[in-house]
Structure 1
Amino acid sequence: MVRRFVLMVAAAALGAGSVAPAQVVRAPATEQVVAAVSADLKNEPLVTTPLSRDPLAPATVAGNEEPAAPSDQTDDQPVAIAPGASLAETVASLRRSDAGSRELECLAVGIYFESKSEPLAGQLAVGQVIENRAESRGRFPGSYCGVLTQRGQFSFVRGGRWPAINKSGMQWKNAVAIARIVDGDIRESNVGKALFFHARRVSPGWRMTRVATVGNHIFYR
């Protein structure tokens, strides 16, 4: 109807020998159409489904793949993980500042301080080791926080405390996303049941079974 009205006004103006009135009418009519379309897009509903495991819990694994776009979910927002999504895509959909629980925060802290500069696959591997320790049935404490604060295990922990973290930074949000992936069994690392790791730049001479090398760490069980 808007377009038809504009054309009728334009035809009348041409019959009178003047183009200016048609130009004046056409511009606001076009703006109205664009505004209407924009409003429709803004009101388009988003469809999401909950995670398969824990609503509080929380891409190809190789290379230096980074999340494609920022996302900062809140605690009460369920997230849909597309089948076949890459690690980077999954991290992008689960990234946020608040870990959602004390246990997930401890897991994210371990991932952050041990591997925040690593590729996502390397961060996932470190998170997997922390989870493996928590599930080791007596060999290590039975919680993420217990594993993290166990004496003599992580050098960044002093007296059961760790340095301050910029929780608005992307590296922390990535660590939270990786923690949610590990805890929710959304994606597994290729380090299997590894319980130990060290940086490639050192050689402690451990007499253990070497499992994998991911990023800048070597993993053992």
Structure 2
Amino acid sequence: MTFCAGALANAATLDMTADAQDAPVQLVNVQNLQQVPAPAPQAAPTPIQEKTEIVQPIPNADPDDEDFNSLTEAVAAQDAPASLDSELNCLAVSVYYEAKSEPLAGQLAVADVILNRTESGRFPRSVCGVVTQRGQFSFVRGGKLPTPPANGQWKKALAVAQVAMKDQWDSPVPEALYFHARYVKPSWKRARVGAVGNHVFYR
């Protein structure tokens, strides 16, 4: 009986020892399993930060490429140029004298008629050449353009001319090459493309 009791005691001791030896291994394994996914949340912010850095340069894009919600917004966004080159001046003077009392769409339509002529092959290739072409615009005298007064209508005409030259807003009559006031009844055999304000446009 002593042998058996001793054997049982030894067996119990061995079992307890085995349990004691196994327990730390199980705890370490559990801890290791819990520690493995821990770095994953720290890695998540890295791609988000990279995306933010990619998006940041967008506000510095070229203003000429900016999209506007309306023609009014496009006109309001124009800054008066430090120096007025001859082509812009010729276009702005034309808008002023031909359409200063027209809505913005009508002013833009007049500006685009002049620009369309420069690309048509049937008129001079420069804006000033189109404007000063003999018999085309009544405000031109002896091939010279008058100087508009520096008032609000001139500033608006200048801004509209800038929008047209930068192609920042589409003309309501995109293919027009000719126009006249509604009260005029020319005997033209041209295709009418539309009317804006007090002007009728043809191609």
Question: Shorter chain as normaliser: what TM range?
Answer: 0.5 to 0.7
Q: CA deviation at 1:51?
A: 3.0
Q: Note if contact 1:128-1:182 (Cα within 8 Å) is conserved in structure 2.
A: yes
Per mean C-alpha deviation after superposition, the further-off stretch among 99-108 and 172-181 is 99-108
Among 149, 164, 168, the alignment partner of 2:132 is 149
Q: What CA deviation, in whole Å up to 9, does each residue of 1:64-116 have, x standing for no partner?
A: xxxxxxxxxxxxxxxxx4x3421111111115376631111111111111000
AA partner of residue 88 (structure 1): T
Among 162, 167, 173, the alignment partner of 1:185 is 167
Structure 1 residues 178, 170: CA separation in 2 closer, same or farther (over 3 Å shift)? same
**Counterpart for residue 200 of structure 2:** 218
AA partner of residue 216 (structure 1): N
Q: What CA deviation, in whole Å up to 9, does each residue of 1:45-68 have, x standing for no partner?
A: xx7643337xxxxxxxxxxxxxxx
**Would you tell me which structure has more helix in proportion to its own residues?**
2
Extract unaligned runs of 5+ from structure 1. Answer: 1-46, 54-80
Q: Note if contact 2:139-2:146 (Cα within 8 Å) is conserved in structure 1.
A: yes
CA RMSD of aligned residues (A): 1.8
Q: Note if contact 1:194-1:219 (Cα within 8 Å) is conserved in structure 2.
A: yes
Instruction: Report % sequence identity.
Output: 53
Equivalent residue runs for 1:42-61 within 5 Å:
49-52=61-64
What is the number of residues matched between the two proteins? Answer: 145
Greater RCO (Cα-Cα under 8 Å, separation 6 or more): 2
Q: CA deviation at 1:205?
A: 2.1
Q: What CA deviation, in whole Å up to 9, does each residue of 1:122-162 have, x standing for no partner?
A: 0000001000001112x100000000000000001011113
The TM-score, its normalising length taken from structure 2, stands at 0.67
- Aligned equivalents of 1:160, 1:166: Cα separation in 2: 19
Q: Indicate the SS of the match to 1:177.
A: helix
